[in-house]
Structure 1
Amino acid sequence: MEEALIPVVPMSHTAHIRSHRKPRRSASKIAMRAGVAGGILSTVAVAGASGPANAAEPVTQTLELPTLTADLAAQVAESADATELAAANYELQAERDAAAAQAAKEAKADLAVAKKKAEAKKKAEEAARKAAAERAARDAERVTLAASASASASASASAPSASASASTPSVTAPASGSVGTVIAFLKAQLGDAYVMGATGPNAWDCSSLVQAAFREVGVDLPRVSQDQSMMGTEVSLSNLQPGDILYWGGKGSAYHVGVYIGGGQYLDAANPSKGVVIQDLSGYPASGAVRVL
């Protein structure tokens, strides 16, 4: 076999000059080209070696490197966009679910508040109706008592004098019917409110209630407790009779008054928390008493 002679190409006399050399390729490009070249040379070598044995069959095997086509790049980009859109949709749905849960919670709270307000309004309306009914009943009873007191006064005025020859008598205590009128008036005010300085008809303080009760039978009492404790005749607490005025504190400096109604009880406008009530004298003993009837 004849040996192939490889011609020697003389080197250019300018090859050693840097500015005449081609730009250096990157390492990745060089490696790729080397790989391609190596693959091609290997293919040629295999084909050459098998040439004499298989001269009748041409070599058709080629080596193809995978390439990133435009379609594959578009698919990757589309997949990334779809993933981002799905994440955004999930986030939006989560925000909507949270907002719906918060709205439901607030609606439930608002409903509870509205229900409580409705119940409170209903109770207030019922209390107002009840108070109005009680007030109407007391007013009717007052009218009846006033009519009875007027009738009694007229009868007393028209009655003949027991001793025509006697001189004008001194003021004497009215009949027991007057005491009954006073007590009936006081009981008609039970449940009224206590308000300092009030004089009726639905709110009283202690002395205004006593003053109004005795006015029903024509007895004019002073307005305040201190002066009321100085009226009439002083009586001992062991000799009390219905209609006697009880006072607490010193005579002439009393700070509270009420009226004895019998059975160890008295009626008074007690305080803002109790209003007009009946109480046991044993629970709050009076300092003294006066009798004006």
Structure 2
Amino acid sequence: MQIVHSIAELRHALRHTARPAFVPTMGNLHAGHLALISEAKPLGDVTVASIFVNRLQFLPHEDFDSYPRTFSEDSAKLENAGCDVLFAPREKDLYPEPQVFKVHPDPALADLLEGEFRPGFFTGVATVVMKLFMAVFAGKSHGTAVFGKKDYQQLMVIRHMVRQFALPIDIVGHQIERAADGLALSSRNNYLSPSDRAQALQLPQALQALAHEAGNAKPGQLLELEAVAMQKLAALGWQPDYLTVRRRSDLQPPQEGDTAGHLVALGAARIGTTRLIDNFEI
């Protein structure tokens, strides 16, 4: 596996390739990330991963400085998974000057759910992903990028961005990878204390129950179902931000005629000091 740090080095490494398959990450890799590499490998003539902790998507009170950075372990995992090129830019490589030009996603998609509780988050995500896309796919007629479905709203934002800018990139969503007990794999699971980890499964259980009930409910009943789900999770000691059912296509509330097969139950909640997100398609 070749490791490069600058955009110029990356473009040189990819100069003879036609169809890169790309997996962007922030490092601290787990089995979920490696599953994205496995999905990407048959989709291009070279498999590229990136590791970059993107300051633009962290709010001032969030964990940018303490976000786990495990580059040596991550590199070994990527090489064992069959990654061909690792792009690991330093901040000065990706942002050699203040990034004053930014990608602002449609507020109708980006300012709800995660965007309501993390203002500006998706601007930071869209900006760095666009810059990574320009680094990886410059001069290529076609390519593929693979994202995990755990960050469901992020996947939707990226899909819409690629369509709006007519980028020649296929966006592939990979199903959530879960631990044996059903907890969605996440780098932030490392923050959970043993007691919080024991309770963490309550979030996917609450979302599964909401998804099951919503599959048989009318849109007018959803608000009550969501409120009850929030109350039950709060009674278990969580601080829920949202547990909700939305349309998969645009994450707007379901309307009459929206049926199972077109919906998703999404949730975000804090247990102890750790904020977890999860979702289940209905």
Higher helix share: 1
Instruction: Indicate the TM-score class for this superposition, using the shorter chain for normalisation.
Output: under 0.3
Indicate the structure (1 or 2) with the bigger Cα radius of gyration.
1
TM-score, normalization by structure 2:
0.23
